[in-house]
Structure 1
Amino acid sequence: MNRTLALVLASATIALAAPVHAQVAGQASLGVSVEELRIVIQGASVKKQILGKPVYNETGDKVGNVVDLIVAPNRAVSFAIIGAGGFVGVGRHDVAIPVNQFDLSSNKIVLPGATKAAVKALPEFEYAKKDKSAT
C-alpha cells in the first residue's frame, strides 16, 4: 500500500485508539498524548481527503466513490466501502474492499485492476442492523 494512504489510515486508527497514559482509580484520561498527536498531525483527514472522493483504476477510469471506512473491533481501518454505479446515490451498489488493495497516486485513490463492471459484480455490502430488543 502507498505510504501516504497508509499514513492516512494509520492516523484514523490512532485517532480512535485510547491514550497510552496510566490509568488512575476514579480518573480517566481523554484525548491523545503528545507523541500520538505528532503522528496524527502528519496524517491526512479522512473527511477531507478520502470520503466522497472518486476511486480510479490504474488507467484513470473512475470505478466508484469512497462512501465509508470500516473500523474493525481491533480499531484498525480495514475496509473502504465503495459506491459503484447509480446516479446521485440512486441504484448505487456498495461494496467492501480491503484497504491494502488501494494505492494513492498523484493525489488520486487508485484500485489497480478494477473496472466498473468488476466492482459492481462484487457482493453488495450492507450494514448490520441493530437488534433493538438487545438494549
Structure 2
Amino acid sequence: MIQRPITLCVASLVAASAIGAAAGAAAQGAPQSVTQTRVDVVQMGAGFRASRLTGATVYNRDKDRIGTIDDVILSTSDHNAFAILSVGGVLGMGKHYVAVPFSSLQISDKQVMLPDATKQSIEAMPEFKYTPD
C-alpha cells in the first residue's frame, strides 16, 4: 500500500518535469550555436578602448585640428567600425557629425590623425545622424 502512492508521486514528478522542459524549450526558441574564436589577449591589450577615444581630438598631417571623436559605431551588416567625428561649429553651435571608417584613422602616441583630411573636406561630407533609440 505504501509503494503505490510513492510510485504515483514519482510518476507525477517525472511527467511534470518533462512538460516543464518541453515548455521551457519552446519558450527559448530554436537552439543556437555559438562559435568561439581564440583571441590573442596580448594583441587585444594593445588595442584602443572606445571609451578612451571618445572626446579625442583628430588632427591632419599638418597638425590642423579636424574635429573630435564623438562615438565609435559598429555596423550591423558587416561589423566594420566607424568613428563619428564632431566637426565645425564654435562652442557647440553649428557643429555636425560625419562618419569615417575607423581604419582610416592613425593612432600613435595617444594622438589621433586623419592624415589627408582638411577641415573643408570633412565639413563637406554628408552629415551623420543618430537614429532614435
Query: Cα RMSD between the aligned structures?
Result: 2.8
Counterpart amino acid of 1:104?
A: I
Larger Rg over CA atoms = 2
| Alpha-carbon distance in structure 2 between the residues aligned to 1:86 and 1:47 | 23
| Alpha-carbon distance in structure 2 between the residues aligned to 1:77 and 1:69 | 10
Q: Are the counterparts in 1 of residues 50 and 71 from structure 2 also a CA contact under 8 Å?
A: no
- Of residues 59, 76, 80 in structure 2, which corresponds to 1:56? 59
TM-score using structure 1 length: 0.61
The aligned residue for residue 103 of structure 2 is 100
**Larger relative contact order, structure 1 or 2 (CA cutoff 8 Å, min sep 6):** 1
- Of residues 58, 62, 80 in structure 1, which corresponds to 2:83? 80
Runs (5+) with no aligned partner, structure 1:
1-24, 27-32, 131-135
| Alpha-carbon distance in structure 1 between the residues aligned to 2:48 and 2:130 | 26
Greater alpha carbon shift after TM alignment, 67-76 vs 53-62? 67-76
| Alpha-carbon distance in structure 1 between the residues aligned to 2:45 and 2:109 | 21
**Where in structure 1 do 4 or more consecutive aligned residues deviate above 4 Å?**
none
Q: CA offset at residue 126 of structure 1?
A: 0.6
Closer, same or farther: CA 40–101 of 1 in aligned 2, 3 Å: closer
Counterpart amino acid of 1:41?
A: G
Name the % identity. Answer: 33
Deviation per residue, 1:2-30 (Å, 9 max, x gap): xxxxxxxxxxxxxxxxxxxxxxx88xxxx
Closer, same or farther: CA 59–41 of 1 in aligned 2, 3 Å: same
The aligned residue for residue 48 of structure 2 is 44
Q: Are the counterparts in 2 of residues 85 and 91 from structure 1 also a CA contact under 8 Å?
A: yes
SS of 1:52's partner is coil
Runs (5+) with no aligned partner, structure 2:
1-24, 29-35
The aligned residue for residue 122 of structure 1 is 125
